[in-house]
Amino acid sequence: MKNKSGTTGGFKNRTVHNLIILDESGSMQAIKAATVQGFNEVVQTVKGFESQFPEQEHFVSLVTFNGLGIKPKLFAKKVKTLSEIDANIYQPDASTPLYDAIGFSVNKLRQKLASKKDYNVLVTILTDGEENASREYSGAAINQLISELKNENWTFTYIGANHDVEKVAASISITNTLRFEANPADVKRAFDVDKKARGVLFCKIRREESVRDDYFQEEEQPGK
């Protein structure tokens, strides 16, 4: 049980926010089912680690984006209260306002956490294409935002297909990258890699180790 000393079982209590920013543009239609399944499996993984590490209280936010809007499907929900999402809330269409989605999602959560302490945030960005429709945020603005937050217990990861993933991620100050092929089998592989890495990160949080870099460590990627 959590106690007044701020520890549970000898480990420091932490709040962990899992923010997933998910491309909902038209090109994601071909991998829609695998993407929904992958998200649901991530939620189950987080639930499992919350049970394993009782000093960690986990929350999940899911924000999808396309040219029709940026849509918070879930925001700072306790993971233990979540049920599986279904395909009805994820309808790929239109273009890819990636920078606006990151700016909106990250700033919304940042504002919520402004008066909080003893937390970590893991931001996962998944897209099968490059930015092509943002109106409010530039790449430079997102680079600055992410650079600032990486010094405040925020970890950023970028999972991408059909573009130069490492180059695009580096342009917005993200070094934790994973490439996938835009087919259902490789989407599953990418989510499996992420689930494993997520567990390692939660272990590092328990041990109060740095979680800024090396999220995917030496995972094999397509083309390598």
pLDDT, one tens digit per residue, over 149-208 is 999 999 999 999 999 999 999 999 999 999 999 999 999 999 999 999 999 999 999 999
The answer as to whether 218 is a domain residue is no
Query: Which DSSP category does 208 fall into?
Result: T
Instruction: Report the CATH number at residue 93.
Output: 3.40.50.410
Q: How far apart are CA 165 and CA 127, in angstroms?
A: 10
Residue 98 lies in domain = 18-206
pLDDT at 224 over 80: no
Number of domains in the chain: 1
* Average pLDDT over all residues of the chain: 95
Question: Which candidate, 101, 75, 96, places its Cα nearest to that of 28?
Answer: 96
The answer as to whether 119 is a domain residue is yes
Helix (H, G, I), strand (E, B) or coil at 133: coil
Task: State residue 213's pLDDT score.
Answer: 85
The answer as to whether 2 is a domain residue is no
Q: How far apart are CA 138 and CA 150, in angstroms?
A: 18
What is this structure's pTM?
0.95
The answer as to whether 4 is a domain residue is no
Q: How far apart are CA 71 and CA 92, in angstroms?
A: 12
Q: Please state, in angstroms and as integers, the Cα–Cα distance from residue 126 to each residue in 10, 32, 85, 188, following that order.
A: 35, 12, 17, 13
Residue 30: burial class (beta carbons within 10 Å; 0-12, 13-18, 19+): middle
pLDDT in tens, 76-91: 999 999 999 999 999 9
Q: Identify residue 126 by its one-letter amino acid code.
A: L
Task: State residue 222's pLDDT score.
Answer: 46
The answer as to whether 92 is a domain residue is yes
User: Among the residues of 1-138, which ranges form H helices?
Assistant: 32-52, 98-112
